[in-house]
Chains A and B, each alone.
Chain A
Amino acid sequence: MGPYLLKRLLATIPVMLVVAVFIFLLLRLTPGDPAAMIGGDYATEAQIDEIRQTLGLNEPLLTQFVIWIGNILQGDLGESFFFKKQVSELIVARIEPTLSLSLVTIIFTVAIAVPIGVLAAYRHGSWIDRIVMGFSVLGFSVPVFVIGFGLIYVFSLQLSWFPVQGYNRIGNGVTPWIHNLILPALALSVIFVAFIARMTRTSVLEVLGEDYIRTARAKGQTETKVLMRHALRNAAVPIVTVIGFAFAILVGGVVVTESVFNIPGLGLLTVDAVLNRDFPTIQAVVLLFSLVYVMINLAIDLSYTLLDPRIRY
């Protein structure tokens, strides 16, 4: 596995380089001028040009790119055009809410989706199966903001169980941290529960028809053991793949949920940066997201060896 791991890690370098070139050029080719945004309504041409000079935007594109890549290689993500803060500081401040939300969402998703998916497969064709499948269709169809507002209306405004919005850092205590995360994580997990429950049902259903399941039953094993030890474990590879992708999507795609629940995470930072053309911040966040995708893919691939002894690298 060592050489495989090394090969995969080395392969991330060209991937990241392509992403870097792509995002750098994309931002420079997109209309919009950060200097004009910073200068505001009263700024004269001379003042805007002065700001552009200060930000290094008057340099040729190649020079700007080389400086940026050089700094990245030294671990310097640059300074935000707007916040007068290092981008790395901004990311560190914003990554906790996003990771927390993603993690709690995945926990909810797995805790709900896998059991109901297994149950639907086990009770294939029954009313339970139809309810789970019906929920899946609904979960796919209803936008996350509708679910978010619905949960807020019931649990925050009517029952006052949870706060309407905001985020509490885990440093302030686990209780307030989870208290603020329950509703957004529930809202966000609905679509993933729908997807993963369906995937689990299909995988388990396929496995339940295999000879070794019949053998296990013939040996007199309980249905729980048959389902959990024999069926689910053999159906795990596609399920884990989907869960991994879901986590990657969550980290980079929680903008709407962060907006509805006003969670100051990476999603909102990215939107703000894009609207203001804050190039260093956008570039760094996109690189980070790309790295997360690559690493999660790698982790998924490596997990196969644990789940299926037949897979070897």
Chain B
Amino acid sequence: MLKLVRRSFVTGVAAAAITLSLNAAPASAETVLRVVPHSGLKILDPIWTTAYISRNHGYMIYDTLFSLDGDGVVQPQMVDTVTRSDDGLTVTITLRDGLMWHDGQSVTAADTVASINRWAGKDAMGQKMMTFVDSLSATDDHTMVFALNSPTGLIELALAKPSSNVPFMMPARIAATPGSEQIDEYVGSGPFMFNDAEWEPGTKVVYDRFEGYVPRSEPTNGLAGAKIAKVDRVEWTPNRDIQAAINSLVAGEVDIIESTPPDLLPLLASSGEGYTQSPNLAGLQYTFRFNVLHPPFDNPKIRQALLYAFNQEDFLEATIGDPDYFQACKAMFICGLPFETNAHMEDLLESNFVKARELLDEAGYDGTPVVLMHSTNVPVLTNLAPVAKELMEAIGMTVDMQSMDWSTLVARRSKKDDPAEGGWNAFATAWDAGDLFNPLAMAFLNSSCDTALFGWPCDDQIEQLRDDFARAGSFEEQFAIVEAIQARFVEYPTHIHLGQFNTPSALRNNVTGYLSAGVPVFWNVEKN
């Protein structure tokens, strides 16, 4: 009897499995691009939060007035023409014909004015831009006028800002929502529409192609040019277990994994089912942040000592490991982007311990412990703090490395308290290259004391140079200011850049056209 039961069981399971796998075959003919994003989408308002996943969602459904092309040059996107008055004090921008919201209404200048105002109320670069603007108004359905108090090249540069917060355009009724509140209607004018009915917060987001989108005539180039949706539907389903995500890609259940740790890429390569490509050739930059309010880092010379004590390779090898996916880069404003320069940086970041100790002696370092926050649950950041600790101890500093989860670190970094009473001295993090592409976008460079980002650097010279950059009328002028900023940065370090890295996307072999646009975007992508 046992034999009979066993045989029936085995036969039954096999038959059920075969039947189930046959029944599970999809019957739909529409093209669905299945993407594993780097995290679940929780907040749908890309102006309310700076979370990268909300930014990426913004690129799916919203459009921008200007965009950066593959070389980091500003190009018009929703914009048709830009004209400047002779005195440079009036900038007139007209919108392209045929732009439509997903609800079928036409995009008007009143909508874009309201969107700019909401964004500029939240974003640091937007706030800076508005210091040059006396008034911003829509003079007709297609035209908006910036009346400036001083000539500036910042308008287009700020409106082309590629990373959080991106100045996405929304209908005026939605953009009227105060910046302190989340929007609750998700209507854009981008190439895909948000499918509200199928949204499962944190687990699944569905976007449908917007048939009414009118792409530009220029070829796709970075975030600029034609945005052509070549699939009917895009589904985002996050997977916190990247090994499982790769298995799914190999089995053909997903098409793209947005971010894949290099150590797992051999699995993909050996399967023969997929290939890799980076959505962002410039990648991300590791950064070590000082808190200048408390000893020892209230002394610029001690911060400068770390510029000599650190070397980028140690950090990059400890975190990324594979040199194909990282590069040491002394340029503050990202290697591979327009403001790349090594000016004044030549002798730094080479672990010159002798020079670093000299600087500590000159500064009178008295052994005050450095409270170094160490985040433990973001794998790509976990090994940064231990390396920093080793290098600081190598020059004779005392380090109190405190381990915590990222949420705790985020809460603690905003505290100005003494490090011994719940404050902090330093921590390490990473920024997307799109957040660092010029001195105004780079948040850690802001040295406006109390209104600066956590760490609160305070330096009139850096602030003057950032202001000069905003007023500069040409690229050459801006580049000279960037070099001057690097010179001042060496004297007054606000942070230390620890090198660039990339976690490439994994794609199935039948997926083509994925852009290296700076952020992961899914127009132009074809699934064969």
* A residues at B contact (CB < 8 Å): 31-33, 36-45, 47-48, 50-51, 54, 80, 82-85, 90, 93, 149, 152-153, 155-157, 159-166, 175-176, 178-179, 182, 259-262, 264, 268-269, 271-272, 275-277
Q: Are B251 and A164 in contact (CB under 8 A)?
A: yes
Cβ of A31 and Cβ of B412 under 8 Å apart?
yes
Least CB distance, A43 to chain B, in whole angstroms: 7
Between A and B, 24 residue pairs with Cβ closer than 8 Å are A31-B411, A31-B412, A32-B405, A38-B49, A41-B443, A42-B123, A42-B164, A82-B43, A84-B184, A93-B200, A153-B247, A156-B251, A159-B17, A161-B20, A161-B21, A163-B253, A164-B244, A164-B247, A165-B245, A182-B17, A262-B240, A262-B241, A275-B407, A276-B407
CA distance A33 to B431 in the complex (A): 21
Evaluate contact between B23 and A260: CB separation under 8 angstroms.
Answer: no
A168 → B minimal CB distance (Å): 8
Q: Are A36 and B410 in contact (CB under 8 A)?
A: yes
Whether the Cβ atoms of A272 and B414 lie closer than 8 Å is no
Cβ contacts under 8 Å, A153 to chain B: 247
B239, chain A: closest CB distance, angstroms = 5
CB-CB under 8 A from A44, the residues of chain B are 451, 453
B404 at the binding interface (Cβ < 8 Å): yes
Taking a contact as CB atoms under 8 Å apart, the answer to whether A275 and B377 are in contact is yes
- CB of B201 within 8 A of CB of A83, answer yes
Cβ-based interface call for B204 (8 A): yes
Task: List the B side residues contacting A156 at CB < 8 Å.
Answer: 247, 251
Given A39-B49, A149-B243, are A163 and B407 neighbors across the interface (CB < 8 Å)?
no
Main secondary structure on A side of the interface with B: helix
Instruction: Tell me if B43 and A277 are in contact (CB < 8 A).
Output: no
A271 to B241 alpha-carbon distance, docked (Å): 13
Interface presence of B31 (CB below 8 A): no
- A272–B202 Cα distance when bound, in Å, is 8
Q: Which residues of chain B are near A160, meaning CB under 8 Å?
A: 21, 251
A45:B412 contact, CB within 8 angstroms? no
- Name the contact of A165 in the complex, choosing from B21, B48, B239 (C-beta under 8 A): B239
Q: Give the chain B neighbours of A45 by CB distance below 8 A.
A: 414
- B50 and A264 within 8 A (CB): no
Other-chain contact of A268, B203, B253, B412 (Cβ < 8 Å):
B203
B291 to chain A, nearest CB (A): 14
The smallest beta-carbon distance between B167 and chain A, in angstroms, is: 14
Establish whether residues A33 and B410, one from each chain, have CB atoms under 8 Å apart when the complex forms. yes
Q: Which residue of A lies closest to B450 (CB)?
A: A45
The answer to whether B23 and A176 have CB atoms under 8 Å apart is yes
Bound: A271/B44 CA distance, A: 20
Q: In the complex where A84-B182, A161-B18 touch, is A42 in contact with B244 (Cβ < 8 A)? A: no
- Closest Cβ–Cβ distance, residue A202 to chain B (whole Å): 22
